[in-house]
Amino acid sequence: MHSRFILIQTSHAGNVGAAARAMKTMGFDDMVLVDPRWPNVLRREETIQRASGALDVLEKCRIVKTLDEALDGMSHLCATAMTPRDFGPPTRTPRAHFEWLLGEVARGHTQQITQADSIKGGAKLPPKGVAFLFGSERYGMRNEDVYRCHVALSIPTNPKFGSLNISAAVQVIAYEWRLALGGFEAPETETSGDLADAAQVSGMLQHLERSLVAIEFLDPEVPKKLMPRLNQLFNRAELTLDDINILRGLAKTMSKLADAVPRTNSATPAK
């Protein structure tokens, strides 16, 4: 399914750039502007600045005069409207609708999706393209444009303040759609080196124990559970060889400082 983001009569140039950036972060690049306020909106400085790395999306973006032109090739239309319209399409959250839509595709139906049966069920043909429609910043989507859609997507927001900037709405819809399609793999965390083996951890603990005795933190006559607890702490930390070297360096420094300070006769009890 091809995905297209359609911005209708956008009035702020910066929002076009921000919407392009929002789309690119989720892996989408088909944006169409319908009758924007600024004919040269794609070349305006504010647009380019807010795109911030998504200039390829702006370069590919098309500007058309009518919504019919923008919808060419699209077969499943999603309006973004907070307020349900009388006689309009069903209102659903993006996540619920996308789950339903991809479920229909997975079942491999054989008839064309129509507005009348898009939610009720029945045999359907997977859509060739999915379009997400966003209205003007000033007045949202017109009723006649919403009526053309199969669903009105309502982003769950604070009931007392649900107004989203158009680029923020584009980001939320793009994220939910990408998540429904499978999302991207999270980057793997790079480790700082090989994990230390049991012998290396044991040697470090013995070194640390001697240093704790030297600074009189650990009383060797009454050690209690300090060292076993430290052993478990380091096991949970999954120490690397670099970690072992750091801890041994700390232990070595503690011992040197202890040698330079007169010894007392008592140690702070270990816990």
21 lies in the same domain as 129: yes
Look up residue 266 and give its two tokens. 């008592």
**Separation of CA 198 from chain center:** 38
Check pLDDT > 90 for residue 5: yes
Alpha-carbon span 107 to 109, nearest angstrom: 6
Nearest 10 degrees: Cα torsion 227, 229, 232, 238: -70
Alpha-carbon span 50 to 216, nearest angstrom: 60
- DSSP-derived letter for residue 183 is -
20 lies in the same domain as 131: yes
119 lies in the same domain as 60: yes
225 lies in the same domain as 138: no
Q: Is residue 117 part of a domain?
A: yes
Nearest to 100 by CA among 82, 115, 121, 79: 121
Nearest to 171 by CA among 20, 9, 2: 20
- DSSP-derived letter for residue 41 is G
Q: What is the pLDDT of residues 46-82, one digit of tens each?
A: 999 999 999 999 999 999 999 999 999 999 999 997 6
- pLDDT score at 152: 93
Confidence bin at 194 (pLDDT 50/70/90)? confident
Give DSSP secondary structure letters for 69-98.
HHTTT--EEEEE-SSPPTT-PPEE-HHHHH
Q: What is the CATH number of the domain that holds 121?
A: 3.40.1280.10
* Range(s) of the domain holding residue 79: 2-181
Among 30-44, 65-79, 218-232, where is mean pLDDT lowest? Answer: 218-232
- pLDDT score at 236: 94
Check pLDDT > 90 for residue 269: no
Q: Is residue 15 part of a domain?
A: yes
Tokens 């199969």 correspond to what residue?
150
- pLDDT score at 116: 44
Q: Is residue 16 part of a domain?
A: yes
Q: Per-residue pLDDT averaged across 247-252, rounded? A: 94
Burial class (CB in 10 A: 0-12, 13-18, 19+), 111: exposed
Alpha-carbon span 230 to 253, nearest angstrom: 19
- DSSP-derived letter for residue 161 is B
Q: Per-residue pLDDT averaged across 242-267, rounded? A: 84
Nearest to 177 by CA among 135, 129, 140, 142: 129
Check pLDDT > 60 for residue 268: no
Answer with the one of 146, 181, 216 that is the final residue of a domain.
Answer: 181
More confident residue, 91 or 188: 91
Q: What is the CATH number of the domain that holds 236?
A: 1.10.8
Q: Which of 40-44, 185-189, 223-227 has the highest mean pLDDT?
A: 40-44
Mean pLDDT (the chain, rounded): 87
Q: Per-residue pLDDT averaged across 6-13, rounded? A: 95
Nearest 10 degrees: Cα torsion 109, 131, 57, 141: -170
Nearest to 174 by CA among 65, 36, 54: 54
114 lies in the same domain as 206: no
70 lies in the same domain as 147: yes
Q: Per-residue pLDDT averaged across 24-36, rounded? A: 97
Residues of the chain with pLDDT > 70, as a percent, come to 86
Q: Per-residue pLDDT averaged across 237-262, rounded? A: 90
The tally of domains found in the chain comes to: 2
Check pLDDT > 70 for residue 140: yes
40 lies in the same domain as 147: yes
151 lies in the same domain as 246: no
Q: Per-residue pLDDT averaged across 192-221, rounded? A: 90
Cα separation values, 86 from 76, 89, 121, 141, Å: 20, 9, 21, 14
120 lies in the same domain as 254: no
Confidence bin at 166 (pLDDT 50/70/90)? very high
How many alpha carbons fall within 13 Å on the CB side of residue 109?
A: 19
Q: What is the pLDDT of residues 107-122, one digit of tens each?
A: 765 344 444 455 444 4
Residue 196 amino acid letter: A
- pLDDT score at 117: 52
- pLDDT score at 170: 97
DSSP helix/strand/coil, 178: helix
Check pLDDT > 60 for residue 265: no
118 lies in the same domain as 162: yes
205 lies in the same domain as 103: no
DSSP helix/strand/coil, 166: helix
